[in-house]
Structure 1
Amino acid sequence: MAIDSSDLSEPPAPSWFTPKRLLVVFCVINMVNYIDRGAIASNGVNGSPRSCTESGVCSDGSGIQGDFDLNNFRDGVISSAFMVGLLVASPIFASLAKSINPFRLIGVGLSVWTLAAAGCGLSVDFWSITLCRMLVGVGEASFISLAAPFIDDNAPVAQRTAWLGIFYMCIPTGIAVGYVYGGVVGGSVGWRYAFFGEAILMLPFAILGFAMKPLQMKGMSHDKNFHGSIHEESAEHIAKERSSYSSFSNQLSRFWQDIKALLLEKVYVINVLGYIAYNFVIGAYSYWGPKAGYSIYQMENADILFGGITIIGGIVGTLGGSIILDRMNSTIPNAFKLLSTATFLGAIFCFSAFCFSNLYVYIVLFLIGEILVFATQGPVNFVCLHTVKPSLRPLSMAMSTVSIHVFGDVPSSPLVGLLQDKVNNWRISALILTSVFFLAAGIWFIGIFLDSADRYDEGGEHAGSAVEQPDVMPLLKNKPATASP
């Protein structure tokens, strides 16, 4: 059989790009993204609003709140504005991943993220910084729905949840580092420079997205068919397939079919509903935590202290929960058992923490609570990836991310700000917020009793999607791969 030399003109993959290096690249990108979230919530960047005493003495405030004269509700809107870009772009990027190299999509998104972060530093009022925060969400959309499937594909089978845990550990760690980073940079040279620094950190990864060689994602087929494949399709069929991808109406129809398929997966829906309630609390914690801690316990270095608690709780909890699920045997029912138990116990400790006036008792109880609630990160995303067929995994991650933001942390930040404007008591606000954890635990408890099947190894959408392409290959060499004879 003759072989077209053009198919062999490029090496299968860069020799230096191993599964662990792929994990490291994704982890750093994820961490920079969440450093931004922590920085904008820090006292050094977010600042304090303008205020006047009863005697008529007024202060100009500090940071974003002071410069733009924002009340707590508007300040909460800034924290949630990224969701607009994420909501619009996530389904688009997930759908395009079926026909376009995902790393090019990530490059486009991270380029937008970099420009938007720099734009935050140049903003002049509430509306300009809100617009830039919306565009930051576009960058996250390009990355978050594609990174987890790649990691799950290339992780050793016995360590899949642990690898996902390492990736999601970067969320609390990034937020915590962002608190410290925002506090130091904002306090020393001004809040605008914190955003300029983030843009510089992300720029190399935006370039890498365009420079990287394509890699195979399970359940996907890109650009070309495989010569000699046992699933080889006729040229006429390929031409029709490519034509259908170029049609907007067919793309839209395909997207809605995929959405319907996700909504019919009861286990997936229950998992996401629990994740929404969970993220409602976590999102508000991450944004209002330093400010609430400063008010309730008079923390002199609230950014650093709250950041330290989040780093320890995030690392220990996320890695611990992921390793425990791997040791339990990574199954969907076991994941729900861990999700409901850890969240329920974490809710008890976090709620109790805010009931004590002593700072040191609060730190101990809240740290234990954070460790328990962050133990959910690996298991909840394991369920998202393994309850749907491979070709739907990018969309499942995209819609999970969109849902937990639209119904979770996006409304929670301004709603808690509105609540605080009304009650003017951060302890009461924190207790009301923390009680939502019990709802999340209850929803995940239901998932234990649902019929579930791990669909990781189901056939992809296209007949030849599980076959290696000459220039698009899996990274993990010890994984079985179908090859043409």
Structure 2
Amino acid sequence: MSVEFRQPEGLHGQSPGPGGPSRATDTDPPSLPAPWSLPRWRAYVAAAVLCYINLLNYMNWFIIAGVLLDVQKFFHISDSNAGLLQTVFISFLLLSAPVFGYLGDRHSRKATLSFGILLWSGAGLSSSFISPRYSWLFFLSRGLVGTGTASYSTIAPTVLGDLFVRDQRTRVLAIFYIFIPVGSGLGYVLGSAVAELTGNWRWALRIMPCLEAVALILLIMLVPDPPRGAAEKQGVATTGDPRSSWCEDVRYLWRNWSFVWSTLGVTAMAFVTGALGFWAPKFLFEARVVHGLLLPCFREPCNSQDSLIFGALTVVTGIIGVILGAETSRRYKKVNPQAEPLICAASLLAAAPCLYLALILAPTTLLASYVFLALGELLLSCNWAVVADILLSVVVPRCRGTAEALQITVGHILGDAGSPYLMGLPSAELPVLRLRHCLGWWLLPTDCAVPRERPGPSPEVWHRDP
């Protein structure tokens, strides 16, 4: 006796209605992929949890930058070595990102994310108890925090890509990537505020694990692990798809020119944001010293007002920039399929002169410097959600974890892994007057914030008018 089977139809594999012809059996054969569905409210709850964890993720990236002066005084490290803190963090992140990308494409993403949260919260907590004699151990702990955050940065966007599709995915990604600048800004604010309240910068690192424990519980209870490509395939699980090797995935991505060029753009942006985010609070602090508004800091605790100001600027401009970029992309691509790369290119080109003017005007007028710094950050933030949507649109679902990992790795190797250290070198080695004359040639192509280190500089150094 022959039996006919019918493929699931409609959204999430449901049949069009109950009036269809009856079949000899009501069950799908074992050889067919099982339909997968999730209530809409569950998908939005999962997205909210992932956004909360993304907030904590980026707070960890920049919480040290908010108390950088205190860390330097506590461990007795120079500007060049202080830049290595972020370089070590990023280096560990980029080395582990391909591993997590491979695991995320082939194994339980939920388990991998849970491991990453445990790793970065444990390393962050332990680093707050390190003695000044073991500064190398503090550097190592920052590297382990970077390893933990790599799991989240690599895998979380692919989970959202399998829960939502098209315009809905663009909006959700915009909200998700809002928490990059918001988390970065709150990292400065939390670090500097806790240091100000307690008189000990290390308490900032002891508060974060409490928030991360809540995040881990929410992840385990509320976030599903959808089948890869479920959103594009109308809820049909892809467990039956042929599994390619990691090398085959990399070859596919290497031939995907949309992915290659967007990755190079992300790399250029990472170079800028890495140096700017790490050094801007100290640059603003020393600018106020030059204007006679503050005294130089020779021992901890140092004045943290500039970290609070820069953190607030990052939060506000980040929210506006991400929403502006995502909404402009969503509307413009209805009339121009090239909208996403055009928006990214235009915002990056416009950010360059704004950041350049923010640095050049700092010794003359602080207000104008803050205005152009805010404009530059806003324009940079327009890219976060758009570049993520580009990746999810041009890469097939089975390779998205690997694609995220490769983009993170390349972006950090050539971007923010080295830019904080490179910007710290001229600050520590070059004479201030020579550095000032080099600004016009050095900062315009890189858009990097280069601080300078002088105990008690005089206004004449920057040729400030009386």
The TM-score, its normalising length taken from structure 1, stands at 0.74
Separation in 2, partners of 1:127, 1:14:
47
User: Shift of residue 297 of structure 1?
Assistant: 3.6
Match of 1:290 among 271, 281, 289: 281
Q: Which residue of 1 aligns with 2:46?
A: 22
Offset at residue 165 of structure 1 (A)? 1.8
Q: Aligned with 2:77: secondary structure? A: coil
Of 417, 423, 430, which residue of structure 1 is paired with 2:430?
423
Query: Does structure 2 retain, via aligned residues, the 8 Å contact 1:385–1:396?
Result: no
Aligned match for 1:183, one of 182, 187, 192: 192
Moved more, 102-111 or 187-196: 187-196
Displacement after TM superposition at 1:381 (Å): 1.5
- State the alpha-carbon separation in 2 of the partners of residues 284 and 334 from structure 1: 28
User: How much does 1:14 deviate?
Assistant: 8.3
Instruction: Find 1:206's aligned residue among 208, 216, 221.
Output: 216
Q: State the alpha-carbon separation in 2 of the partners of residues 68 and 18 from structure 1.
A: 46
1:33 aligns with 2:43: no
Give the superposition deviation at 1:193: 1.0
- Say whether 1:218 aligns with 2:242: no
Distance (whole Å) between structure 2 residues aligned to residue 213 and residue 282 of structure 1 = 30
> Which of 268, 285, 288 in structure 2 is aligned with 1:277?
268
Q: Given the superposition, is the C-alpha separation of residues 205 and 438 from structure 1 closer, same or farther in structure 2, using an over 3 Å criterion?
A: closer
Q: Which residue does the alignment assign to 1:46?
A: 68
Q: Are residues 74 and 162 of structure 1, via their aligned partners in 2, closer, same or farther at CA, if it must alter by over 3 Å?
A: same
Is the contact made by 1:343 and 1:437 (CA closer than 8 Å) also made in structure 2? no
Match for 2:417: what amino acid? V
Q: Aligned letter for 1:281?
A: V
**Is 1:296–1:427's contact at 8 Å kept on the other side of the alignment?**
no
Within 5 Å, which residues of 2 pair with 1:427-446?
A: 434-436=443-445
Cα deviation for residue 68 of structure 1 reads 1.2
Residues in 1 aligned to 2:38 and 2:371: alpha-carbon distance in whole angstroms: 47
Question: 2-side partners of 1:284 and 1:74: how far apart?
Answer: 14
Question: What's the offset of the Cα at 1:345?
Answer: 1.0
Structure-1 residue corresponding to 2:257: 266
Partner of 2:392: 385
Q: 1:104 to 1:232 in 2, by over 3 A?
A: closer
Q: Which residue of 2 aligns with 1:472?
A: none
Give the aligned residue type for 1:349.
C
Gapped regions of structure 2 (runs ≥ 5): 1-24, 29-35, 295-304, 449-466
In the alignment, what sits opposite 1:108? Answer: 115
For 2:414 and 2:425, the matched residues in 1 are separated by 16
Structure 1 residues 15 and 129, CA, compared in 2 at 3 Å: closer, same or farther? same
In the alignment, the residues of structure 1 paired with residue 426 and residue 56 of structure 2 have an alpha-carbon distance, to the nearest angstrom, of: 30
Shift of 1:75: 0.7
Quote the offset at 1:424 in angstroms. Answer: 5.0
Structure 2 CA distance for partners of 1:429 and 1:304, relative to 1, 3 Å: farther
Name the structure 2 match of 1:87: 94
Report SS of the residue matched to 1:350. Answer: helix
In the TM superposition, what whole-angstrom CA distance separates every residue of 1:180-200 from its partner, at most 9, and x where no partner exists? 111111233211111111111
Amino acid at match of 2:185: A
Name the residue aligned to 1:136: 145
**Partner letter of residue 257 of structure 2?**
K
Paired with 1:362 and 1:388, the residues of 2 have a C-alpha distance of 40
Which residue in 2 is equivalent to 1:412?
419
Q: What corresponds to 2:22 in structure 1?
A: none
Following TM superposition, the consecutive aligned residue runs of length 4 or more in structure 1 with deviations greater than 6 angstroms are 12-16, 229-233, 426-430
- Alignment correspondent of 1:341: 346
Whole-angstrom CA distance in 1 between matches of 2:436 and 2:127: 31
**TM-superposed deviation, 1:324:** 0.4
Alpha-carbon displacement from aligned partner over 1:147-194 (angstroms, at most 9, x marks no partner): 112223333532432321221111111111111111111233211111
- Aligned-residue identity in percent: 25
- Structure 1 CA distance for aligned equivalents of residues 323 and 190 of structure 2: 23
- Cα distance, 1:434 vs structure 2: 4.2
How far apart, in 2, do the equivalents of 1:415 and 1:213 lie?
A: 40
Task: Return closer, same or farther for 1:188/1:388 CA change in 2, 3 Å cut-off.
Answer: same
Please state how far the C-alpha of 1:341 moved relative to its aligned partner. Answer: 0.7
State the distance in 2 between where 1:19 and 1:135 align: 31
Q: Aligned ranges for residues 340-379 of structure 1 at < 5 Å?
A: 340-356=345-361, 357-379=364-386
Q: Do 1:78 and 1:130's aligned partners in 2 also have CA atoms closer than 8 Å?
A: yes
Opposite residue 355 of structure 2, the aligned amino acid is C
Q: Give me the whole-angstrom Cα distance separating, in 2, the residues matched to 1:388 and 1:231.
A: 16
Q: Distance in 1 between matches of 2:237 and 2:344?
A: 42
1:322 aligned to 2:320?
no
Instruction: Give me the CA root mean square deviation.
Output: 3.0
Within 1, Cα distance between the matches of 2:197 and 2:237?
Answer: 63
Question: Number of matched residues?
Answer: 394
Residue 315 of structure 1: how far off its partner (Å): 0.9
Give the Cα separation in 2 of the matches to 1:28 and 1:230.
27
Q: How many Å separate the matches in 2 of 1:79 and 1:210? A: 30
Secondary structure of the corresponding residue to residue 81 of structure 1: helix
Contact preservation (8 Å) 2:227, 2:237: no
User: Taking structure 1 as reference, are residues 382 and 128 closer, same or farther at Cα in structure 2, changes over 3 Å only?
Assistant: same
Distance 1:306 1:438 in 2: 17
Residue 437 of structure 1: how far off its partner (Å) = 5.2
- Whether the 8 Å CA contact 2:272–2:447 is kept in 1: the answer is no
CA distance in 2, matches of 1:118, 1:183: 17
The TM-score normalised by the length of structure 2 is: 0.77
Indicate the larger mover: 144-153 or 413-422: 144-153
**Secondary structure, aligned partner of 1:86:** helix
Mind listing any 5+ residue stretches in structure 1 that lack a counterpart? 5-11, 48-62, 222-228, 246-252, 440-485
Distance 1:29 1:147 in 2: 9
Matches of 2:261 and 2:239 in 1, distance apart?
38
SS at match of 2:63: helix
Distance 1:21 1:428 in 2: 53
2:74 corresponds to 1:67: yes
How far 1:17 sits from its partner (Å)?
A: 5.8
